[in-house]
Chains A and B, each alone.
Chain A
Amino acid sequence: MFEILATMPLTPFVISFKLAGITTAILLFCSTFIAWYLSQSRSRFKPVFESITALPIVLPPSVIGFYILILLSHNSPLGAFMKEVFGIKMVFNFTGLIIASCIYSLPFMVQPLQSGFEALPKNMLEASYIAGKSKLSTLFRVALPNIKPSMMTAVVITFAHTVGEFGVVLMVGGSIPNQTKTASVAIYEMVEIMNYQGAHIYSGIMVLISFCVLLLVYIFNRKQNSHLGGLS
């Protein structure tokens, strides 16, 4: 068993987790502001913004992948601009994968954060405004520290979702070994060529890691809840 493991390339896992880590970090930063805006907004356009951020949940990955390919390819204005000005190619490489993952996983970060913010007592935020603190300062010093369980959930679901991404990764990344071939794509290819032993090992590793991550989250959230004792 261990001999087989040692001979199997583990790069697909490295790529998967590197992709998920970077995507999660970028999204955590951006989504905090998006979720905060959505939770506090009373604009009549709010449902429009909410629908746009939720779109990736509903759309088939192939549709998202298709549009991202169109948007980023060197034939598009954006793709051409990036290539000419910065010399960056954005499809069929790791950069493209990160951009695609950020779009694909956006709602999984925004939604838990938004519901966390919305569950905060309104009075608590108002008390902070009355104390002279700006919205931004209230976000970082009052709102975020009190939604740790929601943040944890958002981070883990986004990370897990990006690790599990398949359709978009295949379309935008192609399946270039050591560059864009993630674990999920590698498993698909092994099944295609009937390498069931390899598929078993890769899939087994995925199940094990996913379970451990989820277990840690639930233990963390349980500790947080008993520690904060609810909001009051």
Chain B
Amino acid sequence: MIEISIEKELLGSLGKMDLCVDLQIEKQSFVALSGQSGSGKTTLLRILAGLEKAKGRISVDQEVWLDQNVYRVPQKRGIGFVFQDYALFPNMSVLENLLFVKKDKVLAEQLLEMTELGELAHRKPATLSGGQKQRVSLCRAMMNRPKLLLMDEPLSALDPSMRTKLQHEILSLHKAFETTTIMVSHDPSEMYKLSSRVVVLSQGKIVQDGDAKSVLLRTQGSQKFSFEGELLDIVKVDVIYVAIVAIGQQIVEVVLDEGEAQNLRAGDTVNIGTKAFAPILHKK
């Protein structure tokens, strides 16, 4: 059980802001941490790692990591941390990067096999692709068999197919090593696939906390489906108006009447939903 109750004043993009988080995390659970940029996700992760100080209390399995009199340094927390930009040591080979954490060659080789990196063991990080680097970083984080694994947007710099592959690897490592994992993510499908719980931060406070389905599903009442998108443009075609909306990586058209069109401006965040018809799902 991880108990977090911390407070820290941050200087965000919107001026001063108080990060104020109370959280209890069950052992071996997988928590996704979401929220807009500047909401304090990364800072919370760094406070848990001991890389930043804060007021309050953190205890992990009855061991106090932080309170008024205690501050356990990152070296003594025995955690794993995966950075968004990999943070590998360029002067060491893949295997040396792993052995740097702990001289346990058997474990290192097992991890490299699990992530299909066995053949790259003696390569330097500079010669690897982004996906390979992040896998090395993941393996390195597992080398001291961490009780707590922290990941700061580990997959956001990777292309979609590589993401899917790594999501499976993250999940299998999480299960094999029985770690408690906290991952910062922006990708709903990723959070749904991996996490048992999603916590959403806004302006330093927890605004949503629940299982992935209840937090991530956006439909309300009798809505069959609903998407959030950005209104790009409104075009007048004869007597009707057509709104162009970007949803994720796709652009769709929605017909509007004049009254609706007058209330909307390009750049607005909108919800698109439907009630009357059942959506049709085709296999591509």
Interface residues of chain A, those whose CB is within 8 Å of chain B, are 121, 123-124, 126-134, 141-142, 145-146, 228-232
The answer on a CB contact under 8 Å between A132 and B85 is: no
**Contact A126 to B75, CB < 8 A, known contacts A145-B91, A146-B89, A228-B90:** no
Rounded to whole Å, the gap between the CB of B161 and the closest CB of chain A is 21
Q: Which residue of A lies closest to B83 (CB)?
A: A123
| B88 CB contact (under 8 Å) in A126, A130, A134, A232 | A232
Decide if the interface of chain A is mainly helix, strand, loop or mixed. Answer: helix
Cβ contact of B144, chosen from A124, A131, A134, cutoff 8 A: A131
Answer whether residue B197 sits at the interface, using C-beta atoms and an 8 A cutoff: no
The proximity string for B residues 83-98 relative to A, scoring 1 for CB distances below 8 Å and 0 otherwise, is 1011111110000000
Bound-state CA distance A129–B52 (Å) is 13
Cα-based distance from A127 to B124 in the complex (angstroms): 17
In the bound complex, how far is the Cα of B125 from the Cα of A231, in angstroms? 9
A229 near B83 (CB under 8 angstroms)?
no
A231 in contact with B100 given A130-B74, A132-B75, A132-B144 (CB within 8 Å): no
CA of A209 to CA of B51 in the docked complex: distance in angstroms? 48
Return A21 CB to nearest CB of chain B, in Å: 26
B81/A127 in contact, CB under 8 A: yes
Q: Contact string, B42-79, partner A, CB cutoff 8 A, digits 1/0? A: 00000001010000000000000000000001111111
Residues of B within 8 A of A134 (CB): 75
A231 to B126, CA, bound (A): 7
Chain A nearest Cβ from B78, distance in angstroms:
7
Closest CB of chain A to B188's CB: distance in Å? Answer: 26
Chain B: CB-nearest residue to A141: B100
Known: A131-B144, A141-B100, A232-B125. A121 touches B75 (CB 8 A): no
B127 CB–A CB distance under 8 Å: yes
Q: Which residues of B contact A230 (CB under 8 A)?
A: 126
Query: In the assembly, what is the distance between CA of A141 and CA of B100, in Å?
Result: 9
From residue A17, how far is it (CB to closest CB) to chain B in Å?
31
| Count of A-B residue pairs with CB < 8 Å | 70
Interface centre among A128, A134, A230, by most chain B C-beta atoms within 10 angstroms, is A128
Q: Does B133 reach chain A (CB closer than 8 Å)?
A: yes
Contact of A229 among B49, B75, B100, B127 (CB under 8 A): B127
Rounded to whole angstroms, the CA-CA distance of A142 and B227 in the bound complex is 46
Query: Which residues of B are found within 8 Å of A123, using beta-carbon distances?
Result: 83, 85, 87
Q: Is A228 touching B126 in the complex (CB atoms < 8 A)?
A: yes
Q: Which chain A positions have C-beta within 8 A of B85?
A: 121, 123, 232
Q: Which of A121, A132, A133 contacts B87 (CB 8 A)?
A: A121
> In the bound complex, what is the Cα–Cα distance between A127 and B138 (angstroms)?
12
A146 and B75 form a contact (CB under 8 A): no
B73 contacts across to A, CB distance below 8 A: 129
What are the 8 tightest A-B residue pairs by CB atom distance, in nearest-first order?
A: A229-B126, A123-B87, A145-B91, A131-B101, A127-B87, A129-B74, A123-B83, A130-B81
Distance between Cα atoms of A78 and B144 in the complex (Å): 51
* Cβ contact within 8 Å between A128 and B89: yes
The answer on a CB contact under 8 Å between A124 and B100 is no
Question: By CB atoms of chain A within 10 A, which of B51, B78, B87 has the most?
Answer: B87
For residue A132, which residues in chain B have a CB less than 8 angstroms away from its CB? 75-76, 78, 101, 144
Contacts of B80 in A (CB 8 A): 130
Given contacts A129-B75, A145-B91, contact A232 B126 (CB under 8 A): yes
Chain B residues within an 8 Å CB radius of A128: 89, 100
Would B74 and A126 count as touching, CB distance under 8 A?
yes
